[in-house]
A and B are shown apart, each in its own frame.
Chain A
Amino acid sequence: MIKNTKKSQKKNILSLEDVSISYGTFEAVKNVFLNFKAGDITSLIGPSGCGKSTVLRALNRMNDLIPNCSLKGTVLFDGTNIYDKRVDPVEVRRRIGMVFQQPNPFPKSIYENIAFGARINGFTGDMDELVESSLRKAAVWSECKDKLNDSGYSLSGGQQQRLCIARTIAIEPEIILMDEPCSALDPISTLKIEETMHELKKNYTIIIVTHNMQQALRVSDMTAFFNAVEYEDGDGGKVGYLAEFDSTKKIFNSPKEKTTQEYISGKFG
């Protein structure tokens, strides 16, 4: 359904409407309005503590796992507010998969790492085929094909991260969230993951948090710049907000906001 529409006119697959997220009484991000388009790679950039990872985790309700974390506003996915009381977060995460900062394969074989997610999602087809196609899509098949029964830990960091991407692809999500997927990797592995992302773009919507502005420039269609300002009451705490959201080209070439200009030119961050 999404695949049909995305070629002609990209539709909003995920929308944040006036979202504010707090940890206990401490407000981390406030008043975010953001539309993610289907089939795009959108990157979230900004200085540390601006709440970009918090926003990303809010998109598939991973924040539920952090005690005291609460969200105000609505996150619309497929026409449904995923923070509605009737929504099952497990179902949300099946359709919006996530790749984390540290490669975190399961302590199982490479094959099982892929098969696990598919099996719990009720996959009944040819598992061997699914494992192969997922590993191929994540560009890690050639390294893995001869040792599918070895532990996932036997791979290098970059390969582990691509295994984690393959594991996410195997559940056929509509959106893949990536939380600084390359920050623990060397430049070569980073490059490979970026190539993988370009491949994946054909079938999936990707939202990526990155500290690396060059990466945002290389991979993404749209870029959201988050910034943090001190509270108005002046007790020193900072609250994040969405400073600017536009096509990556515009953000990097002719940003509207002064802070964006300063951030991308390395004046702070």
Chain B
Amino acid sequence: MIMNSLYYQKKLSRNVGDKFFTSLSVFCALIAILPLIFVVTYILIKGGAQITPELFTLEPNPPGDDLDAGGINPALIGTLVITTIASIIAIPVGVGGGIYLAEYSNGGSFSKFIRFGVNVLAGVPSIIAGVFIYALIVSTKILFGSMYSGFAGGMALSILMLPTVIKTTDEGLKLVPNELRYASLGIGASMYTTILKITLPTAFRSIATGVVLGIARAAGETAPLIFTALFSYYYIVGFEDLFYEMGSLAVLIYNFALEPYDAQNKLAWAASFILVISILTVNIFSRIFAAFTETTKRV
């Protein structure tokens, strides 16, 4: 019987193969992360150079003359307003739906149907959500006779947020140990008190993270807004502006990046910079928030 040495032998075919596949998977992992690094760096360099204080305060100038392009204040505020409207609609409905799926449904055909529907909705292209709201609200002028409006934009985005919120609520609640529910029910709490006072607060962290990620996703959407909120060059000054065309960072980028004028292109870069930075911030913030609440809960 031949005794092999116990020392590691580089030339053995299994060791060569092992090395090869390890390097291959590292290489693929690097390629996968490259686009993110390039996109973010490119936008940071191109857009970062355009950041000025006036950018945040001025209205954009209409393209066509060689004047200064102005700022992106209406689009910035518009994105905030539209995302807020979307959150106001999607968070209660989504959390409520998630509660039904995780707490009340008994795995019957109705809940299966809802889960399936939510998965399908998550896969619906965002432009379809835009066209749907266009057909439902914009073209019918059903909202106080207004056509394109920030409100319609918010509704379109809420459709996109909904599946994320429902799924994370559902999954977050399922992670809550059953013992905790039994404990509460065992001392005579009703189902509703148990959910409101025990289960939801325990799952708050994962639900909040999901909600924040849903908001971040919605904030960057363009296609649904083109059909619903359209675009506006003017400051948002009052409540009634909700029912008129409303600008947003994403649509501003879409409009101005295609203009033949340099000034508008630069504005689009600046807007990209701000959009990317805010979405990154929100993502990182939600992670820090999650980690923070996790460590405090175990004390």
Q: Contact: B107 with A65, CB < 8 Å?
A: no
Shortest beta-carbon distance from A90 to chain B in Å: 5
Q: Which residues of the other chain, B, contact A97 by a CB distance below 8 angstroms?
A: 186-188
Q: Contact: B188 with A117, CB < 8 Å?
A: yes
Q: Contact: B181 with A65, CB < 8 Å?
A: yes
Q: Contact: A91 with B198, CB < 8 Å?
A: no
Residue-wise, chain B 259-299 has the 8 Å CB interface mask toward A (1 for contact) of: 00000000000000000000000000000000000000111
Q: Which of B19-27, B189-197, B229-237 is the interface stretch?
A: B189-197
Q: Contact: B185 with A65, CB < 8 Å?
A: yes
Q: Contact: A93 with B297, CB < 8 Å?
A: no
Q: Which residues of the other chain, A, contact B185 by a CB distance below 8 angstroms?
A: 62, 65, 90, 93
Q: Contact: B189 with A106, CB < 8 Å?
A: no
Shortest beta-carbon distance from B3 to chain A in Å: 50
Q: Contact: B107 with A106, CB < 8 Å?
A: no
Q: Which residues of the other chain, A, contact B106 by a CB distance below 8 angstroms?
A: 67
**Does A116 sit at the interface, judged by CB under 8 A?**
yes
Q: Contact: B187 with A93, CB < 8 Å?
A: yes
Interface centre among B106, B177, B197 (most CB of A within 10 A): B197
**Does A100 sit at the interface, judged by CB under 8 A?**
yes
| Number of A-B pairs, beta carbon distance below 8 Å | 77
Shortest beta-carbon distance from B171 to chain A in Å: 18
Shortest beta-carbon distance from B184 to chain A in Å: 7
**Does A120 sit at the interface, judged by CB under 8 A?**
yes
Q: Which residues of the other chain, A, contact B181 by a CB distance below 8 angstroms?
A: 65
**Does B80 sit at the interface, judged by CB under 8 A?**
no
**Does B50 sit at the interface, judged by CB under 8 A?**
no
Q: Contact: A104 with B182, CB < 8 Å?
A: yes
Q: Contact: A171 with B187, CB < 8 Å?
A: yes
Q: Contact: B186 with A60, CB < 8 Å?
A: yes
Complex Cα–Cα for A62 and B184 (A): 11
Q: Nearest residue in B to A171 (C-beta to C-beta)?
A: B187
Residue-wise, chain A 188-219 has the 8 Å CB interface mask toward B (1 for contact) of: 00000000000000000000000000000000
Q: Nearest residue in B to A168 (C-beta to C-beta)?
A: B187
**Does B45 sit at the interface, judged by CB under 8 A?**
no
Q: Contact: B297 with A107, CB < 8 Å?
A: yes
**Does B201 sit at the interface, judged by CB under 8 A?**
yes
Q: Which residues of the other chain, B, contact A151 by a CB distance below 8 angstroms?
A: 297, 299
Q: Which of A65, A105, A170 contacts B182 (CB 8 A)?
A: A65
**What is the size, in residues, of chain A's interface with B at 8 Å between Cβ atoms?**
32
Q: Contact: A106 with B188, CB < 8 Å?
A: no
Complex Cα–Cα for A100 and B183 (A): 8
Q: Which residues of the other chain, A, contact B182 by a CB distance below 8 angstroms?
A: 62, 65, 98, 100, 104
Complex Cα–Cα for A168 and B187 (A): 6
Q: Which residues of the other chain, A, contact B298 by a CB distance below 8 angstroms?
A: 153
**Does B202 sit at the interface, judged by CB under 8 A?**
yes
Shortest beta-carbon distance from B18 to chain A in Å: 44
In the complex where A100-B186, A171-B187 touch, is A120 in contact with B299 (Cβ < 8 A)? Answer: no
Q: Nearest residue in A to B186 (C-beta to C-beta)?
A: A98
Residue-wise, chain A 78-113 has the 8 Å CB interface mask toward B (1 for contact) of: 000000000000110111011110101111000000
Interface centre among A117, A154, A168 (most CB of B within 10 A): A117
Interface centre among B185, B186, B201 (most CB of A within 10 A): B186
Q: Which residues of the other chain, B, contact A107 by a CB distance below 8 angstroms?
A: 180, 201-202, 297
Q: Contact: A121 with B188, CB < 8 Å?
A: yes
**Does A167 sit at the interface, judged by CB under 8 A?**
yes
Q: List 20 A-B contacts (CB under 8 A).
A: A62-B185, A67-B106, A90-B185, A90-B189, A91-B188, A93-B188, A98-B187, A100-B179, A105-B183, A106-B198, A107-B202, A116-B187, A116-B189, A117-B189, A121-B188, A151-B299, A168-B186, A170-B187, A171-B188, A173-B188
9 interchain residue pairs of minimum CB distance: A94-B188, A98-B186, A117-B187, A104-B179, A104-B183, A93-B188, A90-B190, A171-B187, A120-B189
Write the residues of chain B forming the contact surface with A, with a CB cutoff of 8 angstroms.
106-107, 177-190, 193, 197-198, 201-202, 297-299
